[in-house]
Amino acid sequence: MGSGNILEIRDLHTSFFTDSGVVHAVNGVDLDVPKGKITGLVGESGCGKSITAKSVMGLVRYPGRIESGSIRLDGQELTGLKEKELRKLCGQEVSMIFQEPMTSLNPVLKVGRQVAEALRVHRGATSKAEEKQEVIRIFEKVGIPEPEQRFTAYPHELSGGLRQRVMIAMAMIMNPKLLIADEPTTALDVTVEAQILRLMKNLCGENGMSVLIITHNMGVVAEICDEVYVMYAGRIVEKAPVFSLFDETAHPYTKGLLASIPRISGNPEYLSTIPGVVPNMKYLPTGCAFHNRCPLASEKCVREVPEMVETGEGHFCRCHLAKAQTARG
Amino acid sequence: MKAVLKRIASMIPVLIGVMLLTFILLRIVPGDPVSILLGEHYSQETIDRLTRAMNLDKPLWEQFISYVLGVFRGNLGVSYTLKRPVTALILEAFPNTLKLALMGAAFAWIVGILAGIIAAVTQNKAPDHIFMGFSLAGVSVPIFMSALFLQYVFSYRLKLLPLTSDGSAVSLILPAVALGWNSAGSVARMTRSSLIDVMEADYIDTARAKGLLRTAVILKHALKNALLPVITMMALQLSSMMSGAVITESVFSVPGIGRLATQSIMNRDMPLLQGTILFTTVLVILGNLAADLLYSVVDPRIRNEG
Amino acid sequence: MSKPLDQNIKENHSADLGDYIGPLQKVKSMCRRNPLAAVSACVILAVIILAVLAPVIAPYGEAQQDLLNRLKGPSAAHLFGTDELGRDVFSRILYGSRVSLIIGIFPPLISLVIGIILGLTAGYFGGWIDYLIMRIADVMLSFPSLLLSMALMYTLGRYANSIVCIFTALSLVGWASVARVVRSHTLSLKETEYVEAARSIGVRPAKIMLRHIMPNCIPSLIVLYTLNVPSCILSESTLSFLGIGVQPPAASWGLMVNQAKQFLFTMPWLALAPSLTIMIIVLAFNFLGDGLRDTLDPYLQKG
């Protein structure tokens, strides 16, 4: 595969088969992560962005499963891989960090051992001293002060920011090609958030690693992403380079997202929220899933699911009104 | 360390309460001890003399204090029927009960934890249903039934193991299995639900994202967390184990504390009954303390608080 | 044209209603998810009917002896055979169900009431009342339950007949765990806004406890009760088996096993029939309790 993408997701469907009905959490997602770039995946909670990431890592839990579609990591198809083969890639080729650094580390194991474990899984047993040295080296790299002492600490003895650095160290230790970060800073203070984002950006630049960052925070997107996907109710509704997304927003939903960021300056009339609530995924609206919250919705939006259309250079949008809007704007 | 002392201090009112309750319950029956000791045909004078000698004419609170002081000196009184100090009888019987309880607990924990793990791993599939059905049946079988069943199959039919026990390890196998069978069910259910809970935790995703296989995730990450509540549960099991020991010792004629208790109640031997109940209850309280301490050793979150 | 707003609201509303589960639906979903619990409920109902109708159904009297037909195997005349006095085992099992059910159903009810009162009082008032009640509960829970009931049997045995003794003993043993559950519920509910509000407008404590706190404990208490029933049935049969419970000639399952013990190797069915009955009824209550716990009380599951 000569393409410049480290991750290519095509028409991914991941559903949860619950007692009270089928939930189509991921409903035909196409997504590319270019090599060496930071790609963002944005949406409200419950729109399926975390499930998309978990599908890549094979972490979707019962009663959920990947129904169809393809996930290629550096050209290699991941769906249909045996658990054993998939786990060999996880941690080595692709790793993931999670939203809650509080609960993402095992409370009864020392953090150093937990990071070292990532080494041992993929490299086999080496001497404990060697492992420890390597862990301390990566601790230094991700900016953990006093790495020697931290090695023997338990998770509850560390602050949230430090815990997230430990998670990053764990993810980085095998030098993966792709890092998936699921809301890595949501649980952190704003100052710590900035530090962690800078750290991720630096690591990406140094190692030529690609990053897929999942967030609901447009500020985070603006801060570090090269390219952005906007997700709503299990579908990608807009894809654009980051500047294009902010300057030439095409989808009414994205407009709503951007409008709901509070600003100090600006017209208070536009400081709005999106009317209505995120649809219950069990009872998805027909047609465009956003139609019942969309100020511009028409009969067609209720009937037909819109196709992705190109509205600008590398800028795609899933909206019946997309072309007309950009022509006007 | 402070937490440990606090925990030990909190035992004291409970211990006093236990002594008070056993005392009240068993002394409430008036005139009883003397008439049992003597039988029917004695003069009032003899009865009075003995009542005085046994301090039974003193007010109840005085009797209680002298009883408590006696307990602390290791004096639990003299058995009416066996005419020997209760303390000596209990200490003779205790090793057998201890062996029985330990073997029963070992059986319960090994079988229970293994079954619980298998059930949790195969959640909602056939092995899960089978093991959980068995464990609920295990909890529901009266101990005397499993005891008689084991006697019938392994002693009478297969002639593998002795019918009654003299306190030797081999002769205690059947009683221990009968005793442990019940607890194994509870341990299995607890292990299963705890492990399923833990498998939902975020750090399980982290471990799998790291590249660990399912078995490694369970053994290295889930089990240690999942067994924490099971430890507490094991302490609670000690209490029901002592109840169970009364039954198995009766069926297999194990010369242990449980059999002393049954005998004493049939012979209305108050000091012996009082002694056995007090001894086992204190044992249970100490067992719970030990489990608490063990818990804090295993769980680093608690360990650091002390 | 976009849809009118009120229609949207209706749609959202009906979607929410789709997630609401009424009590009847809860029972239905329990039966579907946990058919064993439903079967168990039927078994329990059947046993209750058999117990009530025992004199009508039983082919022989409770203690009716037939010395010519002693220790006979199962036959058409005697479904489960006869015991050493020629009594019909099947009839005795039917009569024995009355003891088991009375001991199974009522003492847990009494300990439930005691436990609720003490638990509410301890949790609501706190302070030394709480300390006193909970230490007494600790003391009760420290005793191995069988030994505590044995001590109670010893004391009560002087004053009443054996069934009354067991009844009283088991009523007095079970309240401590109920009190603990009710107390912890009360402690957390005491902090809620609606209790604070009720208190601030001067509603009497007793009324707050009954109106606002009790209803929230009910799901846990139903589960706790359902699980206490089989343990009381087991306690009764165990005491009777040890020879310190129900006394002959009354029929009790545990006592029947005790009497059949001596014929274990020659006529195992004598011991097997009553043992199996105990197991079935206890199993049924346990399955039902489990099913109820899954549907009613997700919070109690970890206990």
**Does C24 reside within a domain?**
no
Given A117, A148, A175, the domain boundary residue is A175
Judge if A83 and A201 occupy the same domain.
Answer: yes
- Tell me the mean pLDDT in the region A162-178: 89
Residues B247, C238: C-beta atoms closer than 8 Å: yes
Cross-strand bridge partners of residue A316 = A239, A310
Probe site for chain C from B7, B10, B14, B198 (most C CB atoms < 10 A): B14
- Tell me the mean pLDDT in the region C252-280: 88
**B neighbours by CB contacts (3+ pairs under 8 Å):** A, C
Residue A173 forms contact with B (CB below 8 Å): no
The answer on pLDDT for C7 being more than 50 is no
Judge if A55 and A128 occupy the same domain.
Answer: no
CB C287 within 8 A of CB C23: no
**Does C51 reside within a domain?**
yes
Residue B36 forms contact with C (CB below 8 Å): no
Pick B301's closest partner by Cβ from A61, A83, A107.
A107
User: Buried b / exposed e across A278-294, counting CB within 10 Å, b at 16+?
Assistant: ebbbeeebebbbbbbbb
The answer on pLDDT for C12 being more than 70 is no
Judge if A63 and A201 occupy the same domain.
Answer: yes
Taking contacts as CB-CB distances below 8 angstroms, the residues of chain A near B213 are 83-84, 87
Given A240, A263, A278, the domain boundary residue is A278
Residue pLDDT tens, chain B, 306 long? 677 788 888 888 888 888 888 888 777 665 555 666 655 566 677 767 766 666 666 777 888 888 888 888 888 888 888 888 999 999 999 999 999 999 999 999 999 999 999 998 888 788 888 888 888 888 888 899 999 999 898 888 888 888 888 778 888 899 999 999 888 988 898 899 889 888 888 899 899 888 888 888 888 888 888 888 887 777 778 888 889 999 999 999 999 999 999 998 888 888 899 899 999 999 889 888 888 887 777 777 766 543
Taking contacts as CB-CB distances below 8 angstroms, the residues of chain A near C33 are 19
Total-model pTM: 0.78
Q: Please give the pLDDT value at position C45.
A: 92
Judge if A213 and A224 occupy the same domain.
Answer: yes
| Separation of alpha carbons B40 and B29, rounded Å | 17
Judge if A212 and A234 occupy the same domain.
Answer: yes
Q: Which domain covers residue A140, as residue numbers? A: 106-175
Q: Which residue has the tokens 């709005």?
A: A272
**Does A301 reside within a domain?**
no
Q: What is the CATH number of the domain that holds A216?
A: 3.40.50.300
Judge if A128 and A67 occupy the same domain.
Answer: no
Q: What is the pLDDT of residues A235-283, one digit of tens each?
A: 999 999 999 888 888 888 888 888 777 666 555 555 566 777 777 777 7
Mean per-residue pLDDT over chain A, rounded:
85
Residues B265, C286: C-beta atoms closer than 8 Å: no
Taking contacts as CB-CB distances below 8 angstroms, the residues of chain A near C16 are 280
Judge if A191 and A129 occupy the same domain.
Answer: no
* Chain A: closest CA distance from residue B290 (Å): 20
Residues B145, C278: C-beta atoms closer than 8 Å: yes
Look at residues C178, C200, C179, C173 and name the one whose alpha carbon lies nearest to residue C122: C179
More confident residue, B9 or C20: B9
Q: Please give the pLDDT value at position C115.
A: 93
The answer on pLDDT for C102 being more than 50 is yes
**What separation, in Å, do the N-terminal and C-terminal C-alpha atoms of chain C show?**
55
* Chain C: closest CA distance from residue B143 (Å): 8
Tally of domains in chain A: 2
Pick A297's closest partner by Cβ from C2, C11, C19.
C2
| Separation of alpha carbons A121 and C34, rounded Å | 41
* Chain B: closest CA distance from residue C128 (Å): 14
Tally of domains in chain C: 1
| Beta-sheet strand order (sheet of A235-241) | A94-97, A178-182, A210-215, A38-42, A227-232, A235-241, A315-318, A308-312
Residue B301 forms contact with A (CB below 8 Å): yes
What residues does each domain of chain B span?
15-72, 94-305
The answer on pLDDT for C113 being more than 90 is yes
Interface of B with A in 98-137 (CB under 8 A): 123-124
More confident residue, C241 or C12: C241
Judge if A51 and A87 occupy the same domain.
Answer: yes
Interface of C with B in 55-114 (CB under 8 A): none
Q: Which two tokens stand for residue C18?
A: 């789709």
Exposed, middle or buried: residue B275 (CB in 10 Å: 0-12, 13-18, 19+)?
A: buried
More confident residue, C123 or B59: C123
Judge if A167 and A39 occupy the same domain.
Answer: no
Q: Which domain covers residue C150, as residue numbers? A: 2-16+29-67+77-302
CB A272 within 8 A of CB A257: no
Residues A106, B212: C-beta atoms closer than 8 Å: no
Three-class SS state of A180: strand
Residue type, C24: L
Taking contacts as CB-CB distances below 8 angstroms, the residues of chain C near B265 are 150, 153-154, 244
| Separation of alpha carbons B259 and A248, rounded Å | 87
Look at residues C121, C163, C158 and name the one whose alpha carbon lies nearest to residue C248: C163
Judge if A187 and A39 occupy the same domain.
Answer: yes
Q: What is the maximal distance between C-alpha atoms in chain A?
A: 68
Determine the residue of chain B that is closest to A83 in CA distance. B213
**Does C21 reside within a domain?**
no
**Does A36 reside within a domain?**
yes
Cross-strand bridge partners of residue A309 = A317
CB A47 within 8 A of CB A233: yes
* Chain B: closest CA distance from residue A207 (Å): 19
Determine the residue of chain A that is closest to C19 in CA distance. A20
Q: What is the DSSP string of B204-254?
A: HHHHHHHT--HHHIIIIIIHHHHHHHHHHHHHHHHHHHHHHHHHHHHHTT-
Q: Which two tokens stand for residue A15?
A: 């559903």
Taking contacts as CB-CB distances below 8 angstroms, the residues of chain A near C11 are 292
User: C227 Cβ partners below 8 Å, 6+ apart?
Assistant: C285, C286, C289, C293
**Does A283 reside within a domain?**
no
Determine the residue of chain C that is closest to A278 in CA distance. C12
Taking contacts as CB-CB distances below 8 angstroms, the residues of chain B near A109 are 221, 224
Q: What is the pLDDT of residues A126-147, one digit of tens each?
A: 788 888 999 999 898 888 999 9
Q: What is the CATH number of the domain that holds C215?
A: 1.10.3720.10
Residues A104, B208: C-beta atoms closer than 8 Å: no
**Does C88 reside within a domain?**
yes
If one looks up domain B94-305 in CATH, what number appears?
1.10.3720.10
| Neighbour count for residue B261 (Cβ, 10 Å) | 31
User: Buried b / exposed e across A163-187, counting CB within 10 Å, b at 16+?
Assistant: bbbbbbbbbbbbebbbbbbbbbbeb
H or E element that contains B202: helix B202-210
Residue B205 forms contact with A (CB below 8 Å): yes
Q: What is the pLDDT of residues C200-243, one digit of tens each?
A: 888 888 888 888 888 888 888 888 898 889 989 999 999 999 98
Taking contacts as CB-CB distances below 8 angstroms, the residues of chain B near C137 are none
Three-class SS state of C14: helix
Cross-strand bridge partners of residue A240 = A228
**Does C72 reside within a domain?**
no
Q: What is the pLDDT of residues B61-109, one digit of tens each?
A: 888 888 888 888 888 888 888 888 999 999 999 999 999 999 999 999 9
**Does C175 reside within a domain?**
yes
Cross-strand bridge partners of residue A77 = A72
The answer on pLDDT for C133 being more than 90 is yes
Counting Cα atoms < 13 Å in the Cβ hemisphere of C249 gives: 10
H or E element that contains C100: helix C89-125
Q: Which residue has the tokens 């393809």?
A: A70
Probe site for chain B from C135, C154, C231, C288 (most B CB atoms < 10 A): C154
Judge if A243 and A203 occupy the same domain.
Answer: yes
Residues C145, B239: C-beta atoms closer than 8 Å: yes
| Separation of alpha carbons A32 and A53, rounded Å | 12
**Does A300 reside within a domain?**
no
Residues C142, B239: C-beta atoms closer than 8 Å: yes
Instruction: State the ipTM, two decimals.
Output: 0.84
Taking contacts as CB-CB distances below 8 angstroms, the residues of chain C near B32 are 158
Three-class SS state of B301: helix
Look at residues B71, B85, B238 and name the one whose alpha carbon lies nearest to residue C147: B238
Residues C15, A280: C-beta atoms closer than 8 Å: yes
Query: What is the pLDDT confidence band of residue A205, given thresholds at 50, 70 and 90?
Result: confident
Residue A201 forms contact with B (CB below 8 Å): no
Determine the residue of chain B that is closest to A82 in CA distance. B213
**C neighbours by CB contacts (3+ pairs under 8 Å):** A, B
Pick A87's closest partner by Cβ from B205, B213, B224.
B213
* Chain A: closest CA distance from residue C220 (Å): 24
Judge if A69 and A198 occupy the same domain.
Answer: yes
| Separation of alpha carbons A323 and A329, rounded Å | 10
